[in-house]
Structure 1
Amino acid sequence: MVRFEDPPAPRRGVPRADHKAAAEELRGLPGMWGFVTAYQAQSAAAQAASNIRNGDAQAYQPKGAFDATSRTVNGEYRLYVKFIGEETSGDAG
């Protein structure tokens, strides 16, 4: 049986996320996961998450302050990030 419908518009790439703005927003809600952006390939989403966890993404510095993961949802390769908090150094007393 044929399903009659117009094809979707061709994808010309995913708009770039403003990671600096995303990181600032996530800092305001520690421990809350946020959907930051979607990628065209699962490997790209996974690499972005790895870069954030490893401290290689400048917007999400310092290393260890953010957790990140990628998930496939309805064929969309999503990047989720949460702010964990920053370690503070100094004497307690």
Structure 2
Amino acid sequence: MPFIQMENISFFLSTCEIIRIPHDEIFQTVDLFERKDPYQIIITLISFSRKAHDLSPTNFPTLIGPKIVKVKPTIPKKPIGLSSKYN
């Protein structure tokens, strides 16, 4: 049974690579199988959810976690008194 479980985990991880989830967001097999890094597993599931929604919103209508911002917000300018060129 453990071999089948690890094989299923490996299949999921290869699917993550196929849909181009960044490598730093993908957990390792031992992280899930031996419960080593639950935080990384959650990051992978959030990334997978986001990517699956982008690829097929009708099949995956609900996202897990925050959405990625498409347009970066503008950074306000510093007041003149805090700007380094006037100090």
Give the structure with the larger helix fraction.
2
Rg: which structure is higher? 2
TM-score by length of 2: 0.29
- Normalised by the size of structure 1, how large is the TM-score? 0.28
Q: Which has the higher contact order (CA 8 A, sep 6+)?
A: 1
Q: Which is richer in strand?
A: 1
